């Protein structure tokens, strides 16, 4: 996106792609159909040490702008849920669209061009377009007056993710905030693992919360812990220690039948009540785990509250191998929110996931990629 915008301005642009194929992360996204944006994208859908940083770029390149490009190339798409837009066909259509736009803008894309070194050159007084950087690959050295780092984060190393972007930042004195896996499944340990990992494959709609942040989506049990959209969303806000609170039945009273006159009140009756609204295996496990010792009205009230505020303390995450994105990264304090240029390293830009701006699940990280790319492309 950055290259397209710069090329349209008549800039001479080279894209160095270290992989032998362009857009590999695009190709695997959305189950191969690419969740390329979200209609309801706002700055509130992103987190960063500076929550205001993304506002400028997001306002100047919106989902409607990217959608116009998709429609220009006659790519059929559909809205899945919550404003998430997917290709009807294949994610390959999005990659082909971007490469076509690069071609039309005069951009040269070099595949298999892995940068081994970046060197800064001393600025020459009065030469506005003088080369400031040299990028070395195994085949050539390229000099440029502007250098844009769009290397992504550490997520999914099997498709080529590396720390190269952070290394370049540090080389030029640009601070990098601590990175961590985000939008990532969580691992349970101890008694929580023993109690719940036997439910592998069970899925249920919940509200998952940390503090004031909550998401109402589906939770999925795995053989190692918890996954599903609700868990992936809340994982981005987990600090590695605090509990994650789950409401198993938002807006519903699970034990209402036990409050009826002459109702039987025991573990089997509680399991039956929960099975009416939850997957059977989960219903039975929750009653077994909570193991109520009394069935008074007060005990029922406590049990009901517990089912709507059930706390897990994960042992960790599935790591960068399973994380969809990387939280943290190049500090936004070092960058211009309008152009993505480093304040103390003229001509050096950072865009996309390498920057400390992380979107929620549902197309928001792609929209940040398009928006930050466009911001830099209009300035380089």
Could you report the per-residue pLDDT of 180-197, keeping only the tens digit for each?
999 999 999 999 999 999
Contact 154, 320 (CB under 8 A): yes
* Domain 186-317 in the same topology as domain 2-181+325-377: no
CATH no., domain 2-181+325-377: 3.50.50.60
Map 298-311 to HEC letters.
HHHHHHHHHHCCEE
Instruction: Determine how β-strand 84-87 pairs with β-strand 35-38.
Output: antiparallel
The ranges assigned to domains in the chain are: 2-181+325-377, 186-317
Q: What is the pLDDT of residue 164?
A: 97
pLDDT exceeds cutoff 80 at 373: yes
Percent with pLDDT over 70 in the chain: 98
Could you report the per-residue pLDDT of 212-263, keeping only the tens digit for each?
999 999 999 999 999 999 999 999 999 999 999 999 999 999 999 999 998 9
| Cα 333 from Cα 344, distance rounded (Å) | 11
Tell me which CATH homologous superfamily contains domain 186-317. Answer: Translation factors (2.40.30.10)
Could you report the per-residue pLDDT of 109-146, keeping only the tens digit for each?
999 999 999 999 986 655 667 899 999 999 899 999 99
Quick one: tokens of 334? 């070092």
From the list 38, 132, 26, the residue with the least C-alpha distance to 84 is 38
Place of tokens 């080279």: 14
């Amino acid at each position: 996106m950055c290259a397209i915008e710069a090329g349209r301005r008549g800039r001479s642009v080279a894209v160095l792609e270290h992989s032998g194929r362009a857009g590999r992360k695009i190709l695997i996204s959305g189950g191969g159909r690419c969740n390329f944006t979200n209609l309801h994208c706002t700055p509130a859908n992103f987190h960063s040490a500076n929550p205001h940083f993304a506002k400028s770029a997001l306002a100047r390149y919106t989902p409607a702008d990217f959608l116009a490009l998709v429609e220009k190339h006659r790519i059929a798409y559909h809205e899945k849920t919550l404003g998430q837009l997917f290709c009807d066909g294949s994610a390959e259509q999005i990659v082909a669209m971007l490469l076509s736009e690069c071609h039309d803008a005069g951009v040269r894309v070099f595949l298999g061009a892995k940068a081994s070194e970046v060197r800064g050159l001393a600025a020459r007084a009065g030469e506005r377009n003088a080369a400031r950087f040299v990028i070395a690959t195994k085949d050539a050295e390229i000099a440029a007056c502007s250098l844009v780092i769009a290397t992504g984060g550490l997520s999914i190393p099997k498709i080529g993710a590396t720390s190269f972007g952070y290394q370049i930042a540090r080389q030029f004195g640009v601070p990098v905030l601590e990175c961590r896996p985000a939008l990532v499944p969580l691992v349970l340990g101890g008694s929580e693992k023993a109690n719940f990992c036997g439910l592998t494959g069970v899925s249920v709609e919940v509200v998952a919360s940390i503090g004031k942040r909550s998401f109402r989506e589906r939770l999925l049990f795995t053989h190692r812990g918890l996954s599903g959209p609700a868990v992936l969303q809340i994982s981005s806000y987990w600090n590695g220690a605090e509990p994650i609170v789950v409401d198993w039945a938002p807006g519903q009273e699970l034990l209402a039948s036990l409050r009826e006159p002459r109702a039987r009140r025991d573990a089997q009756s509680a399991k039956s009540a929960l099975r009416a609204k939850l997957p059977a295996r989960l219903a039975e496990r929750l009653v077994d785990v909570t193991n109520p010792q009394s069935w008074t009205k007060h005990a029922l009230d406590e049990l009901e509250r517990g089912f709507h505020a059930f706390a897990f303390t994960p042992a960790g995450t599935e790591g960068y191998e399973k994380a969809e994105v990387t939280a943290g990264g190049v500090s936004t304090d070092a960058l211009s929110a309008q152009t993505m240029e480093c304040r103390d390293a003229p001509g050096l830009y950072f865009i996309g996931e390498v920057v400390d701006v992380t979107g929620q699940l549902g197309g928001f990280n792609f929209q940040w990629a398009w928006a930050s790319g466009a911001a830099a492309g209009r300035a380089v």
